[in-house]
Each structure stands twice: as structure tokens, then as C-alpha cells.
Amino acid sequence: MDDLDIRIAGRAGRITLTRDRALNALTHDMAQALHRALEGWRDDPAVALVVIDAAGDRAFCAGGDIAAVYHAGMAGDHQRGRDFFRDEYRMNAAIATFPKPIVAFMQGFVMGGGVGVGGHASHRIVGDTTRIAMPESGIGLIPDVGGSWLLGRAPGRIGEYLALTGARMGPGDAIHAGFADLYIPEADWPDLIARLERDGDVSALTGQPVPAAVLDRRDLSAFGGRHLPDIVAALEAAGDDEALAALRRNSPLSMAAGLALVRAARADHRMQQSLTREYRFTARATAESDFLEGVRAQIIDKDRSPRWQAGADEDKVRALLAPLDQDDLLWEDAE
């Protein structure tokens, strides 16, 4: 397909996102094709490892292409979104559980759906241009694609901070927060990929000294508040205007639900549990949340002035995260 270059090069299965004019935003077809490629290589003895990279220098993948989901939802078709998210999450899980090494080279923007592709690889490479974020609360969604799993494992209160603010991480912070593994200058990537293709051996991956992190020095104790109003009050008391500006800009419902998801994920022992919980929100998103309004403001009309309407009380959050009964996202290998 035009948006992905899927091939075998030497001993490596190779997946290159080639939609660089759209910042390699992930479409439904791309998610399904990526998943099919992995399934085809799972037991192929010719493939020793998989390398995922992207064309262009601006983005590895800046998120999911949700315009089609928006237009379908506005027309009353909520199944389009459910199908997209379900298939995307299955692809995310396939990356996380793949029995062979997957090496992701993540330059530029790596946001939302891009984290779902690169953030669950076994070997996650970042460079100087890398900027990783889970900014879904700004469009009325929640940290999904297994994002709540990663956020729940970040040190201290970094997970809550990133989920609520959507803040971007450079390479040092991304490694510190557990979203990446190795820092390697991007100029070295082509030769390194060539070695991986030739040898099929991840021992060639050797990181260089990690750039300084910022998050490990920032006081994020306010994000330990039990509920969103408690966090806002603590930030006000601390005079943290930067964080407050983000919280006042983003969807209250999305932040409240994201907070619950990150904390619930800390008790999960496999990423699929987090994905199932995330799907309960996203399956309902076009019909029962501020998602359509957030997409309108940020992506369709681009006026950057969403008019949030959905309440953020505990009952609403609980309803959006409740099991979907026969429509829950289930896994064949569930324990």
C-alpha cells in the first residue's frame, strides 16, 4: 500500500511509514496492514527481527488519522470509530507480544497512535529530534494505544502529569519515563539499520550517553491528588501556571478518565488489560464524550477553541469505563 513500505531486507522484516506529508498519521488500513505483516513474519525463519521506521524528518508518526472517525460520528455512525480503535489496539498488542525483536527508530513527533506503534517495540530508539507525547486529552479522548500501560509505569507522578497535560518529552525524558530505551544520533541510523538487515542481530544496538532529563527534577507531587479538582487546587497552591494552563485547556472528562486509566493500569500485569479498559472509553467516544468537539476544534476547523460540554463527575467516568459486555475487547490468550 502507498502509506507503508512492507518488505523483507536481508534478515529483517521492514516496515516504513511513508505518509510523511501527513506526518505519517496512522490510518485504519495502515494499522491492519502492519498487523498482517507481523503475523506473516511471526513464524517465518527468514525473518530474524523487525525494523520499523518512517520517511521524512518531521515525524515517526504524529498520531492516528481520525478524520474519518470524526465524519462518521457526526453522521451518526459510531461503529466506524469502534472498528478503527479495536483493530489499532490489536496491532499494538501484536507489537508488544511479538516473539522476535522489533526495533523502532522514532524521529520527530511520536504522538498518540505513533506511541502505539513505536512505544511497545522491544528496542525503542530515539534521537535529538524526538518529541513523544500522549496529547489525547486535548481532543477529548484518553491516553490509549496502550498509553495508559506505559504511563502507569513511569516513575513517580510522571504518568499523571503526561496524561493530563499532554506535555512533550525529548529523548532524555522519554527514556527516563520508560517510553524509549536508547539514544542514538539520527545520523547513525541508516548504517545501523543496514547492519540489522545484514546480521539480524540486535547486539549491534548500543546507546550513547542519554541527554539530560527534565522531568526527574520537576516537582510533580501535585499530580498525586486523588481527583482532578484536588490536582488543580494543589497546582494553584504551588503556582504552577504552566501545568494549570494545560489543564484549563484540555477536556475535563478526558483528564478525569485518563487519571483513572493510568492508576488502574498500575495493577495490570499485561498490556492487554490496559487496552481493554481504554477501548471501553474509545468505543463510546463518538457518542458519549467530547471527542467529536475536540477533533472539530483541533483538526477539522482548527480554531483551537473547543467547547467542552461533557461532565467530568465520577459517575460519568465510571460509566464510560464500564465493561461493554459482549463488545468488550477480548484476547485469545487471556489468562
Residues with active-site annotation: 64, 113, 136, 144
From the list 187, 331, 202, 192, the residue with the least C-alpha distance to 272 is: 331
Q: Are 96 and 143 in contact (CB under 8 A)?
A: no
Q: What is the DSSP annotation of 252-274?
A: HHHHHHHHHHHHHHTT-SSHHHH
From the list 85, 141, 84, 130, the residue with the least C-alpha distance to 106 is: 130
Give the C-alpha separation, 306 to 297, whole Å.
5
Class of residue 237 by CB neighbours under 10 A (exposed 0-12, middle 13-18, buried 19+): exposed
Class of residue 97 by CB neighbours under 10 A (exposed 0-12, middle 13-18, buried 19+): middle
Q: Are 93 and 275 in contact (CB under 8 A)?
A: yes
Q: Are 168 and 137 in contact (CB under 8 A)?
A: no
Give the C-alpha separation, 68 to 157, whole Å.
34
Give the C-alpha separation, 73 to 67, whole Å.
10
Helix (H) or strand (E) holding 125: strand 123-126
